[in-house]
Amino acid sequence: MFTYLYWALVFGLAIAMVVLIGLRMDNLKAALLAAGVVLFIGWAAYYFYFQQIFVKRWGGVMRIDVPSGQYHVATTWKDDNLWVENYNPKDNTCIFSEYSRGNLLQGRVIIKNCNPLGLPFGSQSGGAAADIAPGP
């Protein structure tokens, strides 16, 4: 909801530039240039700053795809950055990926020999749980 209000404000400012500069000052070229600048600044501010803030603080929608062949384990916020944990069963690793504002500073932590889902890996299938006898 808040995202819609933001974009309504940005487009309203762009239209106001066309009306004020283009129609009142009779300079359509400058009006279109000013509207383009307003739209670009609005897009850049949203992509590089506001998107995750809107989703975390005021509700919104953000889509992230899990890479092919991986399983999603957990997601958490650290400040205004989203951290996503996925599990790759092919090489038995957990991958923590950071989605920062504008995806400029993306952190990544890889933990080897991680098996959070209890899935069998290689020759370790069955694991220790298969060796435990049921109680009396």
Per-residue pLDDT of the chain in tens (136 residues, 90 and over written 9): 678 888 999 999 999 989 988 887 888 888 999 999 999 999 999 888 888 788 888 877 778 888 898 889 888 888 878 888 999 888 888 988 887 766 666 788 888 888 776 666 553 443 333 333 333 4
Which pLDDT score is estimated for 126? 38
Examine the domain organization and report whether 68 and 52 are in the same domain: no
Tokens read off for 52: 């995750």
Which pLDDT score is estimated for 82? 85
Examine the domain organization and report whether 74 and 30 are in the same domain: no
Which pLDDT score is estimated for 110? 87
Closest CA to 89 of 63, 65, 125, 128: 125
Residue 124 counted as domain residue: no
Residue 132 counted as domain residue: no
Which pLDDT score is estimated for 38? 95
Beta bridge partners, 98, equal: 83
Cβ-proximal residues to 86 (8 Å cutoff; 6+ apart), any chain: 66, 67, 70, 71, 72, 73, 94, 95, 97
Count of the separate structural domains present in the chain: 2
Which pLDDT score is estimated for 133? 34
Residue 17 counted as domain residue: yes
Which pLDDT score is estimated for 130? 34
Query: pTM of this prediction?
Result: 0.60
Examine the domain organization and report whether 54 and 6 are in the same domain: yes
What is the residue range of 103's domain? 64-117
Closest CA to 48 of 102, 10, 100: 102
Examine the domain organization and report whether 45 and 74 are in the same domain: no
Which pLDDT score is estimated for 132? 36
Residue 135 counted as domain residue: no
Which pLDDT score is estimated for 15? 92
Contact between 30 and 21 under an 8 Å Cβ cutoff? The reply is: yes
